[in-house]
Amino acid sequence: MTDQPDIENLVKKVQANKKYEAITPNLVRRLSKSALARGLSGKSAVKDVRNKLHQIGGAYFKQKIDYSQWLNELKETDKSLNSVQLRQFCARMMGLHASTAERLPILENFFKTCLAPISPVKSILDLACGLNPLAIPWMPLQLDFSYHACDIYLDMLSLVQSFFDHLGIDGTTDACDLVGEVPTKHAQVAFLLKSIPCLEQIDKEISLMLLEKVQAEHILVSFPVQSLGGRNKGMPDYYQDHFYEMISGKAWQIKKFTFQTEMAFLVTK
């Protein structure tokens, strides 16, 4: 059995690096416990945990984001979802995270197309949200919609919550390690956008479990069609086959959507 003081000591060492200091400690603690249980120690354990954190989320940041700067700019931004100024702010902000940056060229049509069968949407649960909540101005939503976003980065969630508050959105945020716990919030639709490949780096069985346990009538799942380096490498066929194999035998309705930079599936349970 791994001693708790050893786990906490490793967590402290991992998060001493600024790249990992804003990640929810629950995730760092679980990965640290796993590293120690596998016999790793010292610098090897620190490197193992940091490598996994990089695979899960760190690789998607183009640069370190100065959230205080963006928060100050947000305070000066229009409070209307239809505002051109607000959309410009949101697009520039989303461009700082690789996942949402890839979606910018298709943003005008992505949510409008994928959510058309169930729009206008009244409630959203955004899992491993990144900066995706800033795409709200492009989503087909009811006037009184609600939005719950969860992620592992506490500083990013703080910015997202400030975004909700600034616009008067009925929105909440929560630090969440999806491999360790499944949110219990209920929503009309849950988003699991380009997250499955990252989560499966840590737990190969996580994807189906999430699809089964998430409390939503619909789940919008998506996959990248190219690597972060811009290479295709047969990814569309691979992820499509992987997805259909994963849900084989489930009596779920599936609608597929293909875009220039992303492939999506609307799952109705």
Report pLDDT digits (tens) over 22-71. 999 999 999 999 999 999 999 999 999 999 998 888 777 877 899 999 99
Q: What is the CATH number of the domain that holds 246?
A: 3.40.50.150
List Cα–Cα distances, 162 to 73, 133, 155, 156, 173, in angstroms.
Answer: 11, 11, 11, 10, 10
**Parent domain of 157:** 67-268
Whose CA is closest to 152, among 8, 6, 21? 21
Phi, psi dihedrals of residue 55, rounded to the nearest 5°: -65, -40
Q: Which residues of the chain have pLDDT under 50?
A: none
Pair 21, 79 in one domain: no
Pair 47, 178 in one domain: no
Pair 141, 106 in one domain: yes
Please count the structural domains in the chain: 2
Pair 148, 248 in one domain: yes
The pLDDT value recorded for residue 62 is 73
113 within domain boundaries: yes
Pair 46, 164 in one domain: no
| Beta-sheet pairing, 262-268 with 253-258 | antiparallel
Q: What is the CATH number of the domain that holds 25?
A: 1.10.8
The pLDDT value recorded for residue 228 is 55
The pLDDT value recorded for residue 227 is 59
Pair 194, 106 in one domain: yes
**Three-class secondary structure of residue 73 per DSSP:** helix
Pair 131, 194 in one domain: yes
H-run or E-run covering 189: strand 187-193
Pair 156, 262 in one domain: yes
182 within domain boundaries: yes
**Three-class secondary structure of residue 95 per DSSP:** coil
The pLDDT value recorded for residue 57 is 85
Give one DSSP letter per residue of 29-69, joined into a string: HHHHHHHHHTT--HHHHHHHHHHHHHHHTGGGBSS---HHH
172 within domain boundaries: yes
Q: Which residues lie closer than 8 Å to 178 by C-beta, 6 or more apart?
A: 127, 128, 150, 195, 199, 206, 210
61 within domain boundaries: no
Pair 186, 252 in one domain: yes
249 within domain boundaries: yes
The pLDDT value recorded for residue 239 is 94
Pair 21, 127 in one domain: no
Q: Which two tokens stand for residue 259?
A: 């875009």
Pair 193, 124 in one domain: yes
195 within domain boundaries: yes
The pLDDT value recorded for residue 2 is 66
171 within domain boundaries: yes
62 within domain boundaries: no
Pair 83, 49 in one domain: no
Q: Distance (Å, rounded) from C-alpha 243 to C-alpha 239?
A: 6
